[in-house]
A and B are shown apart, each in its own frame.
Chain A
Amino acid sequence: MSTLDVYDYLVRYNSTFSPVVPDLAYKWEVFPNNSAAEFWLVRNATWSDGVPVTAQDVIYSFEVANNSASRLQPQVSIITSIQAPNNYTVIFHYHPTVLFMAYTAAAVPIVPEHVWIKYVPNPSNSTALTDYQDYPLVSSGPFEVTNYVQGQYIELTANPNYFYVSMRPHIQHIIVQFFKDTNSMVEALEAGQIDAVAPTILPSQVKTLEGYPNIRVVVEPGEEFWYIAVNVYPYGHGNPTLKDIHVRQALAHAINYTELAQVIWQGYATPAGGLLPVGNKFYDPNLTPYQFNLTLANQILNDAGYKMGPNGVRVSPSGIPLSYTLYVINEAPEEVEAANIIAGWWSEIGVKATVDAVDAGTLASIIWPNFTQDFDLWDWFTSPALPTLLDVFLANQTETGTSDSGYNNSAYDALYGQMITATNYTTVYKDAYELQQMLYQDLPYIMLYYVKSIEAYNSQAFTGYFDNMTGGPFSDVNWYTFIDLQPASTSQSSSTTTQQSSPTSTVSQPTSSPSSGPSSGSTPSSTSSSGISTPLIVGVAVIVIIVVVAAVVLSLRRRPTT
């Protein structure tokens, strides 16, 4: 979120994830062949050090994004050339696709060439780029980073010179504080020491918060889902019976998805059908969860010749028992419980699953490169704007450590290729649905549930939270909240007695790295008394939005996909 509010982009997503909001480009045109686009840049944008933002910065930013150490590389690799006919016009040429605007143009933050070039003179030098700390940070967006302490907090200060007058923030400071533990974070919200919590709190904490009339809990579709990957890799070393579609179908029918979502997430999760979650633009509502039907599951296995063995475990026609290990990530205790419940249902159809909870590093080493696992119960986070998570099932993803099922289907690969090179959105949607349909039928993943995003804030301190969006007010695609926030003026006067002057805070997801490194730089100007009295409403606004970025959780459980 903070990257979105600190840097400018050529264009931004609107609240339904279409790349149509002007930013540095006030106007643009995609050529009819869908292989070139021209952008006209505003002329009054400046960097926080006063230097104007020009087409050279745009070109440099896209070149840096194409560095092999950049997460954005795959998204910009479709570009064949970039030209700047003048200082305020940029023309891109790329391999034909209608996704260029959403997938590429709206994805790359524009960074200051004149600053970065001192450290990364050659944009494709990966060592220089990884070593560059980008702090103190020079940016052009609605907020500037005025203080940053690794693992503790980020302080954002409104950019008074922001060129986009209607997008200038209403409050002066926002502090994003990082908590290690959600319980402490929620307590701090209750105590009034912070003003909001994100990215996701636990269902059990919602009840506590409901007792506070000033605290509003926002539940929106989330970006995360949980699944069981089945090892179907043709060259893998898991139990070979899993390569039989009948076994996978029986297993999928032997899970009560509704009950699971209720028990594990107390209803704050939606039973899953297709790969892309509710809230993703390419979510397919026609794919509903497999029906829970133990009789049917038993029937499928009987018909396929899996006979019940003496110890209650079925045996394949070639004599292999349906006895598996179900790995689950141990950082998520509630999912370990889910795995145990699932193993219980499976035992009723003569399938033995031994649950083994391991950490992400261990699980990764079990899966890649040899595929010795049977199942792994894990999660993905995916941007609601794009269908590109579907690439996890491409055959070439088995070596790079992202495909945990080892799905290998040339028809799928071809269709995916067709989708990302389509020149109209009708085809993109059609292909995205069809790809999900293939996965639904082939079952490399048994989809469990889409987790909702639960966030909360003190509605009497500030208003203007942009709630109605996938991922909630503080998601990594929601750049509205920080700009729209304003002090809740009426109640503010009554509650200001606690001269709590901590500024505000947001979450920096570890996606493209806006900043990292030691603190220093300019000191924040907020004081506890009303010292600065900005032209804006109450002088120094006091918001502390707190985000638990349990770094462990983020780096391991969350696997952002840009």
Chain B
Amino acid sequence: MGIGRYIAKRALTSIITFFAVLVLTFILFRLLPGNPVLLLFRNPELTQQQISQLSAQFGLNKPLYEQFILFIVNVFRGNWGLSFYYRVPVTQVLFPALLNSIILILPSTILAILIGVGLGVLSGWKRNTLTDMAVLSSSLVLYAIPTFWLGILLIMLAVRIGGIPVSGMLSIGVSFSSPLQYLGNLLRHLLLPMITLTLVTLGQFTIIMRTSVINELTEDYVVAAYAKGMSESRLISKHVVPNAMLPTVSIIVISIGTVVAGAVLTETVFSWPGVGTLIYDSIARRDYPVLQGAFLIVALSVIISNFIADLVYAYLDPRVKYS
């Protein structure tokens, strides 16, 4: 099978998946018990007439299949509806939150990947030594630490040190005289949440990388190369790591794909106005339009990154194309 056909096949699968996600998204939120109108307007003085009027206004009184057709048509028109809760177009709520999340999560994920993969290689290379034990156990501990706890711990630390903002994205009410000042302020606010998020996510990369490095190290070609007298560092960097990266690639790409899903816990601890908390709040409020929008974006992003992972895989491992 040629590379062209391979790509086409993968693309088709991705599109089908996307449609399945569309249908699921719609059904899923309608299955949640609870009526958004009753939740939003919970007021002992609301009359039955007011309730039906509000339902009509939100289109909740139409039959489900009609709501579904409307939903599909509108998704492709770029009309994602009005948020029940905020009463503004979904895109106006969703996109700023998405951007905020990406600002926090993308650098953290990249940092976690770099540090995690590095530590994994080190640990696999020096397996069963003190270094390995130290790296492995600290990775496991970090992976298992509750985000909330770590976040609060860092906040307490920052409070003792002083000068490090512990909440929000920017100092509120300050007008910045230059873009540089703005950036500086943002970076200071980014510090704690980024450290938290990096620490709690890097463990998974370390562990996977370590395992696959150890796997590679037991391969015959490694023994042969070693016997030939190839230096250990050259062996690791030129032969072992590229091969060991294969299983890690998929988890890396998917991690990057889920950047748009936000990080609920970190965002909550640091009051970071991201998409994770938006999704969480919207579930509680039964804000279907926002949820649908958010899930579509997350799904789209994961599907696209999977597609990319497939391509990268095919490039890294030519055998894939023939399978």
Contact = CB atoms under 8 A, between A and B. Distances in A.
Interface of A: 68-69, 71, 73-75, 126-127, 130-131, 133, 147, 149-153, 155, 173, 175, 177-181, 183-185, 187-188, 190-191, 193, 331, 359-362, 364-366, 368, 388-389, 391-392, 397, 399-402, 501-505, 516-518, 523-528, 544, 551-552, 555-556, 559-562
A525 B96 CA distance: 24
A289 B11 CA distance: 67
Which of A69, A331, A401, A524 neighbours the largest number of chain B CB atoms within 10 Å of its CB? A401
Contact of B172 (A150, A153, A392, A523): A153
Contact of B88 (A74, A502, A517): A517
Given A191-B159, A366-B33, A181 B88 contact: no
A402 B44 contact: yes
B175 A181 contact: no
Contacts of B169: 152
Q: Which of B43, B45, B49 has the most CB of A within 10 A?
A: B45
20 contacts: A69-B53, A73-B45, A173-B173, A180-B268, A181-B148, A184-B155, A184-B271, A361-B284, A362-B34, A397-B44, A402-B44, A503-B172, A516-B86, A518-B92, A527-B175, A552-B280, A552-B281, A555-B39, A556-B285, A561-B43
Q: Chain B: interface residue count, which band?
A: 35 or more
A179 B271 contact: yes
A133 B167 contact: no
Contacts of B156: 187
A131 B277 contact: no
B43 A562 contact: yes
Contacts of A131: 82, 87
A504 B44 CA distance: 33
Nearest to A363: B34
Contacts of A392: 44
B142 interface: no
Interface string B160-188: 00100111110111110000000000000
Contacts of A359: 34, 284
B47 interface: yes
Nearest to A155: B173
Given A151-B273, A181-B268, A559-B42, A365 B35 contact: yes
Interface string B258-297: 0000000001111101000110110011100000000000
B75 interface: no
Contacts of B152: 183-184, 187
A511 to B, nearest CB: 10
Please indicate which of the listed interface residues B42, B270, B280 has the most CB atoms of chain A within 10 Å of its own CB: B42
Contact of A361 (B34, B48, B281): B34
Interface string B45-59: 111111101100100
Contact of B45 (A185, A368, A562): A562
A69 B53 CA distance: 8
B40 to A, nearest CB: 7
A551 B281 contact: yes
B170 to A, nearest CB: 9
Given A151-B273, A152-B273, A505-B172, A187 B43 contact: no
A525 B175 CA distance: 7
A285 to B, nearest CB: 24
Most buried by A among B93, B162, B171: B171
Of B39, B40, B48, B158, which is in contact with the most chain A CB atoms at under 10 Å from its CB?
B39
B172 A175 contact: yes
Nearest to A548: B271
Nearest to B177: A527
B199 to A, nearest CB: 17
Given A501-B174, A518-B92, A402 B46 contact: yes
B252 to A, nearest CB: 29
Contacts of B6: none
A401 B168 CA distance: 36
A127 B58 CA distance: 10
A535 to B, nearest CB: 20
A524 B170 CA distance: 14
Nearest to B53: A68
B87 A184 contact: no
Given A155-B173, A364-B35, A184 B44 contact: no
A216 B257 CA distance: 46
Given A191-B158, A518-B92, A400 B286 contact: no
Which of B35, B38, B46, B168 counts the most A-chain CB atoms under 10 A from its CB? B168
Of all A-B residue pairs in the complex, the 9 with the closest CB atoms, nearest first, are A361-B34, A74-B45, A503-B173, A365-B33, A191-B159, A402-B44, A401-B38, A180-B268, A187-B155
